[in-house]
Structure 1
Amino acid sequence: MFTLKSFCSDSTFLKRLSPVALAVSTALISQHALASEPTEAPADEMEVIVVSSDFRGSTLDKMPSSITVINQQQIEDEGAQHFEDVLNSIANFNWSGGSSRPKYFQIRGVGEQEEYQGAPNSSVGYIIDDIDMSGLGMISSMYDLQQVEVLRGPQGTRYGANALAGLIYLKSNDPTDVFEHGAEVSVGDDNLTTFSGFSSGPLTDSGKLLYRVSLQQHQQNGYQDNLYLGRDDTNARDEFSGRAKLRWYASDDLQIDLTLLHADYDNGYDVWTLDNNGENTQTDAPGVDKQRTTGSSLKFTYSGAEQFELVSLTSYANSQTHYNYDGDWANPDHWGGLDCDGEACEYDYTWGKKGERNTISQEFRLSSTQAGRIFSDSTDWLLGVYGMRLTEDNDTVEDYNGWLDTLNAEYEANNTAVFGQLDSDLGAGYALSFGLRVERRDSDYSDSAGDKFSPGETMWGGHIALSKALSDSHEAYARIARGYKAGGFNMTLPEELSDKKEYDTETLYNYEIGLKSRWLDGDASTNISLFYMDRRDQQVAASQQNPEEPQKFILFTENAGSSHNYGAELEGDWYATSNLKLYASLGWLETAYGDYSYQDKYGGTVDLTGRDLAHSPNLTYSAGATYRTDSGWFTNLTTSGKSEFYYSDSNESKSQAYTIFNARVGYETDVWSAYLWGRNLFDEDYGTRGFYFGNEPDQGWADKQYIRFGDPRQLGLTVNVKFL
């Protein structure tokens, strides 16, 4: 068990502490030289939050939709290093822990739980600085991030087919016109070390060319001890994130923004055990979860025309992934010592996939200026076109007792879309927003097993929203949105499932009302929304274990009947005093399958009609408090939790409800800060992914629940330096 005494007495601690001591001493010695003027203290009044993922960058309180924004101050107060550290504070949001870092998300009960094969087809969009990383969400460092935005419900007008359930948008800090720099070091148990730094400022004396660079290297052992191999790093995280931004004011009318992103996550994946102990694995071939992504976005903003502004947005990303695991979760010595029908068991199984994805997109949009408004100067307009090309090659290998089964697949999709939006001031405090998007997708798939598909379809979505300013402090809205998710195909299916080769497009209608309010002269705010979702031709991911070859699974997606989700979100902030901020969120969610049943591995029928959807807890909740004294002392306390939920669409396995607590205390000056922190302080065991199947031949392959647990308690120290 980790204690402060053992941490400080550990010889490795002194080695890890030396960079921290150097940073602190440098900051103290150089405080007056480096800080020509002090940095501003955190604002005591409610800030105006701009939603970057919106076409026009509207303020949060004027957006007629349920949106969570986690700003930079909250990210820093909570000491979040990765998106995984903040996602539990988002109402009606969940994730599926089948990877080393979260990459499969569910918003209001809608989203993927895994992707072992097939073509990428995400329900939840994931964008980093305008670079589309949907389905590849693990590269999400929180360092030098301006804010996290989570948009709930279909985003058909803005983002189309990849945002049926909603959108996650990460916005990093932009270049500044004055020099600012910073560095941060974190150390902790589990052999954690994180080194981060940023630099920003002008590159020319004229101030027309600005830059910002941020880097982070994160390492830790991954909380697992592999007893068979005698190692404590088979589940390690080794993660590099780098970002560079350039902003060029080319003329008074033209602004050019270039973003470069590189992330290299070289992680292990060794979390599953036969006895569900959550700590000690026994695998002889521990897995990996690697992703190397290089991406860029280039944005031109031209404002020289009197009646419109022109935006051109180009993005590109190349991602190379490698994911594999030891599927028997043990080793030859373990199985050889057990009895299988009077003989020593022979069971050795691994599965792996290597992939490469390339995505390039181009968007042009025209939006009205104040002089270009129409309908008696009451209505802003926007028109746009979009094109995207995605290619992905995947090579999968299954090895069962030395017998290899390989599949090489190639996929290409081309999307084109036109979209538009009108935003009208109707007078008397009323405003109307109407948006429409029409999208065409054509794709081609082929693999070494002989499967070939070339589906093509035209889809449409959009929204209509009416808002009313009830007073200066209260804004009500009603919104109807239509989202869509492209149909697809299933490969390598046996003959008896040939009727499931293809499945149809899913559409989702979201009906929502909400109220956004400010209280106590702006010191407090609340956002509440009520929603009802009508899913038609719902896509359901199913799996069947082959009783003749238990190590093999048949994976496919099919359409269920219509289903309905409904619930509410409530979020609030309160600056109780100039030193104390309180914040909280609450999500309530009710989900149910429509008319849906499936065949189990023995040929029996399982009827899920009316059952809750997988990864859809009825309650999600969080609360936090940040207190700063005038003398520089700092404390942040947070708690978050979920009610129980089903792990899968294909069985009745469920999680346990849980609540976890985090804390951070420290001392802050204008130049340096130091914090002691702890996550999951009471070392709560909580499941993030579960399976229910047979994986033990000595038990006759009897079905059993297996659970992957979230991170246990961790304690650490962070020191940062910021200066002008």
Structure 2
Amino acid sequence: MPIFLHDVEQVEIFKGPQSFTVGQNAMAGLIRVNTIDPKAFFESKFSIDVGNYGKNNLTFMLNQPLNANTALRVSVAKNKDDGFIFNNYYGKYLNGKNELISNFKVKYNKALSSGNLFSFSAMSMHSDLDNGNDKWSHSNFNELDVTNFETDTDFIGRDTFLGKSNIIKGTFVDNKNFQKINLIFTKSKYDLNYDYDGDWSNESHWNDLYTNPLSESYSENAYSYWAFPTFESRSRHDNSMEFKLSKSFKKHNLIFGIFKKEITERDIGTGFIFDLGVGYVDNYKTRYSTDYNSFYIQHTLSLDDEKSLTLNFRNDDYNNEFDYNYTYYDNNSYLTSEYKTDGQVYKYSNSIQSFRIGTNIDNFYFSVSKGHKAGGMNLSPSSLVTANNDTVTVLNNIDRKYDPETNINYDIGYSLNFNNLNLNLTLFYMDRKNVQVKLQDQIGDCPTCYLFITKNITEAINTGIDLESSYRLNSNFLMFLNLGLLETERANYSHTNYAGTTNYYLKRELSNAPKWSLATGFEYSLNDLFFLRYDISSKDSYYYYDDLNDKSSVTTTHNINSRYIIDENINLTIWVKNLTNKVYPAHIYNFSHGPGLEAQQWKSPTLPMTYGLKIDYKF
């Protein structure tokens, strides 16, 4: 669920496998965002943030006590900008943002006569995102070496999200018996639409580019213009329940929890979905559901104030179902079939256990943990029937399911808080089995016809160092340095695609795994009225995909943020992101853009320099 950070109390980042005592399992880490609870006093805040590319961002927060035990908190954020990519066909910017996010929260607290505490809260979050989706060009934006980014699409793409999530939470604290009970219910619904112009062009532009003999891009095999508008929609229902009991006695703390989650997702794709030569699938519907149940138990033994030992165990059960149907367009009769299906409901279940053993001794900690990533099913059709009643195999039976990925992770850490120096150092080694990799097959030379497959390979390793540090020179000046070093390697593997061609992939680094990442900078404050922060973020190149050798550039981004406190109610902030105005590829794809055209590498750009002025007013 998207959320702006203007009314967030804390963002917690947990690294490594989490056989965790909150919510669902996480294999390689967990990010938890805690919004601010209603408070027992009145407060209200308002901010306006304006910047280049037509940026207008408004936020509002109101906290209002209702009585001695009850308070509510309302926050709203509206974000709008024009985008930075200009569409020549329509004569306007079409990759802008238009986002509205709200959060309503009410909380009741009661101190009982027994000395125990009871609290009840209800929260409703709403997200409405209506963003443009026009970010690809036949010119590749001159390899991103331009000041003006332009496209020529004649179909207006969109990237929308409409979501609502309701959460009810009850907490009972038994101070006499040193125990605490939490009960949480959530109910969510998400609707997503992702539409785009698959040919990135219009008829005049396409023919001038590819069928005009005077053009540098001319190809004698190129077809005349054929529109490829593509529509993808997804509707997801998500219900969960969690019960957690914690109890402390002497040096022991015990936690027991039960977590249950039910997910049903329905997807629809419309356009050129699967090209079969004599026709194509023009509508493809899927239903995917997951019934997820888990329980966990944790015991922490406190040896003294600086030493503890934690044992954690978790069991997760997954039950998945999938089915599909489709319509087929015949190129000869120009007719679309009725909905077809193979008549099967595919099912896949798995159960897996996780654990963690950890100890803290003074400034050192050590842990061994087992984590996992759930298995599931690929959502492509097994076979398709053409208008001639010919059956075409699309997804091989062996590729329908993929198993859970597991890992054993070893962490050794050291933390230091000495005078003005703060330091956290972690060394880790992760041994991964049944590693899940993602593969993609383009069907023919249709630019929108793809199979996306997740499959298991034998093994991989991740090992590295994380360093977080800061040093305060004086009361006004703070320097910080965060550094990550990472080495990865995955095993050889092969895959036989829908056409019967076997591709072999040699041992190499994992995708999305830069060898190093760096964040450094300083913060300066003067007389509690002026604040300045300058930071640099950089990371090494990395492979974009598991099955392709395309690599990103080494990226470096400079940001600056200065804030001036005018009075106790008003703050003024000036900010600049990407100070050097350096643009990098956000995504890279290799494919043929249409019949008769050679496959080549395509790039979409990251954001150029953005800047703005923000005013915060506190009532």
Distance 1:574 1:200, change over 3 A: farther
1:654-693 counterparts in 2 under 5 A?
Answer: 654-668=551-565, 669-693=567-591
Q: State the alpha-carbon separation in 2 of the partners of residues 508 and 361 from structure 1.
A: 26
Aligned to 2:138: 274
2:84 match = 223
Q: How does 1:208-607 map to 2 (within 5 A)?
A: 208-232=69-93, 234-252=94-112, 253-277=117-141, 278=144, 279-304=149-174, 306-337=177-208, 338-339=210-211, 341=220, 345-369=224-248, 373=249, 377-399=250-272, 405-427=282-304, 429-448=306-325, 449-450=341-342, 452-469=345-362, 475-490=363-378, 491-493=380-382, 494=393, 497-520=396-419, 523-547=420-444, 549=446, 551-599=448-496, 606-607=503-504
Q: Is the 8 A contact 1:160 1:437 kept in 2?
A: no
Q: What's the offset of the Cα at 1:294?
A: 0.8
Name the SS of the counterpart of 2:204 in structure 1: helix
Q: For residues 360 and 551 of structure 1, do their structure 2 counterparts lie closer, same or farther at Cα, with a shift above 3 Å needed?
A: closer
CA distance in 2, matches of 1:334, 1:606: 36
Q: Tell me the SS of whatever aligns to 2:396.
A: helix
Secondary structure, aligned partner of 2:546: coil
Alignment match, 2:505: 608
Quote the Cα distance in structure 2 between the aligned partners of 1:302 and 1:563.
44
In 2, Cα distance between the equivalents of 1:601 and 1:591? 29
Equivalent residue of 1:492, what SS?
coil
**Structure 1 alignment gaps of length 5 or more:** 1-132, 134-138, 470-474
1:594 deviates by: 1.5
- Taking the aligned partners of 1:602 and 1:447, their CA distance within structure 2 comes to 21
Q: 2:604 aligns with which of 681, 693, 708?
A: 708
Aligned equivalents of 2:222 and 2:269: distance in 1?
A: 31
Cα distance in 2, alignment partners of residues 692 and 343 from structure 1: 18
Q: Alpha carbons of 1:181 and 1:429: their partners in 2 closer, same or farther (altered >3 Å)?
A: closer
List runs of 5+ in structure 2 lacking aligned partners. 212-218, 326-340, 383-392
Output the amino acid matched with 2:226.
Answer: Y
State the alpha-carbon separation in 2 of the partners of residues 496 and 285 from structure 1: 31
The answer on whether the counterparts of 1:161 and 1:485 sit within 8 Å (CA) in structure 2 is no
1:499 partner SS: helix
Structure 2 equivalent of residue 174 of structure 1: 37
Instruction: Please say which of residues 621-630 and 712-721 is displaced more in the overlay.
Output: 621-630
- CA displacement at 1:605 relative to structure 2: 5.1
Could you tell me how far 1:428 is from its partner in structure 2? 8.8
Matching of residue 719 in structure 1 with residue 615 in structure 2: yes
Q: Which residue of 2 aligns with 1:633?
A: 530
Q: Please tell me whether Structure 1 or Structure 2 has the larger radius of gyration of its CA atoms.
A: 2
Distance 1:343 1:637 in 2: 50
Report the Cα distance in structure 1 between the residues aligned to 2:368 and 2:140, rounded to whole angstroms. Answer: 44
Q: Look up the SS of the partner of 2:458 in the other structure.
A: coil
C-alpha change, 1:667 and 1:495, in structure 2 (3 Å) is closer
Q: Provide the C-alpha distance between the structure 1 equivalents of 2:20 and 2:606, rounded to a whole number of angstroms.
A: 35
Aligned partners of 2:370 and 2:455: how far apart in 1? 21
| Deviation digits for residues 200-238 of structure 1 (CA, Å, limit 9, x no counterpart) | 14211x2x1122111110100121101122111x11100
Percent of residue pairs identical: 26
Q: Which has the higher contact order (CA 8 A, sep 6+)?
A: 1
TM-score by length of structure 1 reads 0.75
- Deviation of 1:366 after TM superposition, in Å, equals 0.9
- Deviating above 4 A after TM superposition, structure 1's stretches of 4 or more consecutive aligned residues are 159-162, 400-404, 548-551, 599-606
Native 8 Å contact 1:564 1:594 kept in 2 = no
1:430 and 1:555, CA in 2 relative to 1: closer, same or farther beyond 3 A? Answer: same
Question: Structure 2-normalised TM-score?
Answer: 0.87
Aligned with 2:542: secondary structure? Answer: coil
Distance 1:186 1:326, change over 3 A: same
Distance (whole Å) between structure 2 residues aligned to residue 343 and residue 680 of structure 1? 39
Kept after mapping to 2: 8 A contact 1:161/1:483: no
How far apart, in 2, do the equivalents of 1:313 and 1:343 lie? 58
Q: Report if aligned partners of 2:221, 2:597 keep a CA contact under 8 Å in 1.
A: no
Greater fraction of residues in strand: 2
1:452/1:350 Cα in 2 relative to 1: closer, same or farther (>3 Å)? farther
User: Quick one: distance in 1 between partners of 2:600 and 2:500?
Assistant: 19
Q: What amino acid does structure 1 have at the position aligned with 2:102? A: G
CA distance in 2, matches of 1:569, 1:615: 17
Tell me the CA shift for residue 274 of structure 1.
2.1
The CA distance in 2 between the partners of 1:300 and 1:660, in whole Å, is 44
Q: Is the 8 A contact 2:445 2:594 kept in 1?
A: no
Looking at secondary structure, tell me which structure has more helix per residue.
1
